[in-house]
Amino acid sequence: MSTLRIIVLGAGSIGMRHARNFAALGATVTVMDPDRERIESLECGAIYDEAALADADGIVIASPTSLHAAQARTILATTDAAVMVEKPVGLLDDDLADLESADPSRIMVGFNLRLFGPNQRFAELLDSGRAGDPRAFRFWFGSWLPAWRPGTDYRTCYSARRELGGGVLLDVIHELDLARWMAGPDLRVVGALVSQVSDLDLDVEDTVRALLVNDDDVPVSIELDYLSRRYRRGIEVVGSEATLRLDWDQKRITIENGDGVTHEPFCSTVDESYENEASRFLALIENGTAPPVGIADGVAVNRLAQRIREHAS
């Protein structure tokens, strides 16, 4: 097959990461951004031009969250290209019903942590019954927002601005996707806090605490914040036979049971998950290979986030 033509919409950090990964896989990559100064400073790509999208084999939407849904609709309606839209699919108040029914063979949602090796290993252990019957799930994330993007004033980035789709609930929506993957797709919200509890200069929430239950009435807790001075992230499942824990900071999976504690260290990096994601998108374009997260699941994650926000109101 001839070299695939990929257009990346958005020249921010995530857009440029995607551009590098697709180029490394042999694709011809163009980066588009409406900010002329940004494009010229990077000496790559082009100013956003809808007409130019028609010649692409694949289009990656790496723009601010507030633009995701509208850009996906335009691309699906006016081109034959496959689409990879960065998580989340849209804002919480976006009507995503039309995207949910889009051709699943053309669209993939960028939940790269589905392709993070330690997460996949954790899911294997869980599915193999290593924990026994799950009795409780916990998913957590924390990081200090002002330190996320060195050299950038955090107050100007999309994470801190409601009109761009910021706030930790949407920004770190990965944990909701992982919860649906591991605890079950049908999760009911029974308690939630979505709030700004710090003195950071932002107009969005910096803290989320949500309690969900799955179809078996097993509790699922979600803990997200922009406040932890040291990056932390992980998953814990308390089961009838053992407790499984994945801790990003300690770089290991821990298995605790009546016989003791064992550890599985890992050295995988999140960079590898993005590289795997690029490969999967090219496989979708070339062979119609099903994506790790399709549009229906992507919309379902957004709706779960919306239910959490509504319950907290």
HSE, CB side, 13 Å, CA atoms: give it for residue 263. Answer: 6
Residue type, 88: P
Model pLDDT, residue 298:
97
The two tokens of residue 51 are 């007409």
Model pLDDT, residue 280:
98
Model pLDDT, residue 151:
79
Confidence of residue 51 (pLDDT cuts 50, 70, 90): confident
Question: Which CATH architecture is the domain 117-267 placed in?
Answer: 2-Layer Sandwich (3.30)
Instruction: From 179, 247, 244, select the one nearest 214 (Cα to Cα).
Output: 179
pLDDT tens-place string over residues 282-310: 999 999 999 999 999 999 999 999 999 99
What value does the mean pLDDT take over residues 185-203?
96
Q: What is the mean pLDDT of the chain?
A: 94
Model pLDDT, residue 251:
97
Model pLDDT, residue 28:
95
Residues 6+ apart with CB under 8 A from 20: none
Instruction: From 129, 167, 136, 7, select the one nearest 71 (Cα to Cα).
Output: 7
pLDDT tens-place string over residues 121-171: 999 999 999 999 999 999 999 999 999 888 788 888 878 888 878 899 999
Domain ranges of the chain: 5-112+273-293, 117-267
pLDDT tens-place string over residues 7-20: 999 998 899 999 99
Beta strands in the chain (DSSP E): 5-9, 28-32, 58-61, 82-86, 107-110, 134-142, 188-195, 207-213, 219-225, 232-239, 243-247, 252-257, 260-265
Say whether pLDDT at 104 is over 80. yes
What value does the mean pLDDT take over residues 105-133?
98
The two tokens of residue 83 are 């689409």
Model pLDDT, residue 38:
80
Say whether pLDDT at 213 is over 90. yes
pLDDT tens-place string over residues 259-289: 999 999 999 999 999 999 999 999 999 999 9
Say whether pLDDT at 43 is over 90. no
Model pLDDT, residue 301:
98
CA separation for the pair 35, 150 (Å, rounded): 20
Residue count of the chain, please give it. Answer: 313
Model pLDDT, residue 52:
86
Say whether pLDDT at 258 is over 90. yes
pLDDT tens-place string over residues 222-244: 999 999 999 999 999 999 999 99
Model pLDDT, residue 56:
96
Fold of the domain built from segment(s) 5-112+273-293? Rossmann fold (3.40.50)
